[in-house]
A and B are shown apart, each in its own frame.
Chain A
Amino acid sequence: MISSDAVLGPDHVPGGPAIRLGGVVKRYGDVAAVNGLDLDVPAGICMGLLGPNGAGKSTTMRMLTAQSRADAGEISVLGFPVPAMSKQARALMGVVPQHDNLDEELTARQNLEVFARLYRVPRRERAAAVDRALELAQLTDRQRSRTVDLSGGMRRRLLIARGLVHAPRAVLLDEPTVGLDPQVRQQLWTLITALRDDGVTVLMSTHYIEEAERLSDEVALMSRGRVIARGRPADLVADHAGVRTEEFYGPPRRLAEVERIAADLGFTTRRTGPSVSVLRAEKITPQARERLGQGEARASHLEDVFVLLTGETVE
């Protein structure tokens, strides 16, 4: 690990973050897609970027490859300042875009061969790198099929393998499982976890709570172009929503009453359609219980934190 740090950029500090964004702003006309974003991604972890559609996740990813240029702020990837030394950073980075841009006319193998060259995999290692990527994507027996003939799940696996063909140090995954069925999603989760276990830094955006919770060592909650909270998923939940949440159902009058009493008792609540959720329900004392009544208890999760902090829902 120490010797291979030599390939990292001039801004790299040993043990420092793999990806760093400070005060980053990106405007499109009047829209601030990213609006003062600060985020450090420690080397070797999987960081989940969780936020609803339009939060600025894809824009952030594109700025990390210099395909989008920030209006303000500082960015570095693997120690290389971006965009100044972005090309060096891109050589060490794998990118899996939100929208599939595979070459449909080419075979699975050819898609990988082209990217092995673009990523400068040396000639003598190229065939082995492509074989390994095919194995990763479980497409070894479909390598001669044209991409247009592959299923949605296969294409997604190929897209991910394409970003890994050069054994990158960091990988950007932009909503890697969106629109896939649960079985394929499960396969990809295994793949992403294995990557992280191998020491690759993973930055993965998602608007699926479960995905962020299951895969990420840390999550950054993103809303309106900013990171509003970050930490280990369990810590975030414990800090903001406690252990348990209780859902109270009933007619509107009853819900209003629950909200009033909970506020009176010092509890945080949120409305979710037909129910009122009372956070930190483990703190409800027997006396409080008499006034509040009994709700349906469940474990608190990241969605509770997200709604609490932003007033928005994620999914």
Chain B
Amino acid sequence: MIQPAKPELVTVNIDGQEVEVPKGINVIEAARMVGVDVPHYCYHPKLTIAGNCRMCLIELGMPAVDRATREPIMDEATGKQKINWIPRPQIGCGTNVSPGMHIKTQSDMVKECREGVMEFLLINHPLDCPICDQAGECKLQEQATGYGRGYSRFIEQKNVKPKRTQLGPRVVLDDERCVLCSRCIRFSQEVAKDDVLGFVDRGSYSTLTCYPGKELANNYSLNTVDICPVGALTSTDFRFKMRVWFLKQTNSIDTESSVGANTVVWSREGVIYRITPRQNDEVNDTWMADSGRILYKQVQSDDRLLPAGSLADNLAAASALLKDGGVAVVGSGRSSVEEQFFTARIAKQLEAKSCIVARHGEGDGILVSADRNPNTRGALVTGLITGLPATELTELAADIDAGAVKTVLVVGEDLTAAGLSADQLAKVNIVYLGFHANATSAAAKVSIAGLTVFEKSGTYINQQFRLQKFASAVPGLAGATDDRVVLAQLLAAVGGETTGSDLASVWSALSREISVLDGLAYAQLPDTGLLLDSTAWSGLAFPEGETLHYQPATAEATA
């Protein structure tokens, strides 16, 4: 576990309180650290400073020093160093703290500035909140209530702008609601590296648009919806489906690659409505790929494996086949650490070879890596595999052809996608556990319906060897059983040591048996994960290239 270096601190005075804050951060962040809210629109901690909304104006003063001698000038009345207040308000977002800086966030001037900006932002705003999807998470609504005057002095005609522009396949723009903060533009340029958005026209007629012939179609386009402070950018998938205040938020992990972007799953009454990124400055900042946001659709997808028979019968049938010998185990890089742990134990109990199926794609250099399994590292840590997995199970195929395998336990994977032929499948008994139906489940002697990541809890280990937890957002499919529980019971059924299948019990076994997990407990894992000691696997040539906050070890070595 690597501890970040302690930042250098400076003392500043915020609204009369002397506080210590890290050097170099801006006034908004400094104030935030001591619980003071400096309202803002255009500032976003992960984007460059634009300074255009002017909502964050504050009063700023510096300790007075004599120009010639550099001696402090004292205030006779207070006995303290005199403060030179700048007569004009300054932007908090663009002002970095320095020693002795004095900041007023509550003065009359600051209040007046905020009232002014709020009034200006609302005069041409359509005020269509009742039909706006942003209601409930709209900064304009919140700050109008908190910092506005509460009435309007505007009697002129409002500007008219385009109301429904499809910027790309997933994002819709309402220009009348846009406060021209340029967050979406900066995101496209700086993070997505796809410079397609800009303003046309000028003054109050400025209008956000895509460059001619371009569209906002990159795999990060929905982040613009997340960071748009108002209802100007909305998601085609989510808009008009549900008011956000009805939704329950559950922390989860994006399973589309080994990056493991941290996410929030938004659900109501067992139905998921959207997935958004959750801030983790070591992994994904505040971003995630669009492709990871639609994964919730697998919960209600047509190809889900539906439960058949009772779990007890299925387990009995499965264990009978497995105990008969000649077993091979195909685990999964999509399974949780806990599931992989049980899978590995079953393999060990049965003295079976175990493997997982590698899944490779092109890394995008941002938040989708080349390793499309979320938990390859977990398979290594739990001992399910000892080297890097392959995309094709050639060894298993050869063993089947040689008649060395009678039964294959398959967790979640489709063997035909991993290079096995229908003939080879037909030669063996298959015990399948997973949430979707495929050629392998169809060929299985015993198939047990499992759950999606959204219906269960556990941990993954990402490309950085960061152990990250996810929690179940919605109840599992009726009749299906948590994969972890199924595997624990299967282990017991084939004669293995019985461990409780609840997370606390599994983790006491994990921390006892796996040295890099020593001393850890599920309940104590921080929301942003924990970096594990990965030296044991440093020799492996992992397929990932560079992504946000991740430099592959091999690249470092060759650089």
A and B are interacting partners = no
Residues of A within 8 A of B (CB): none
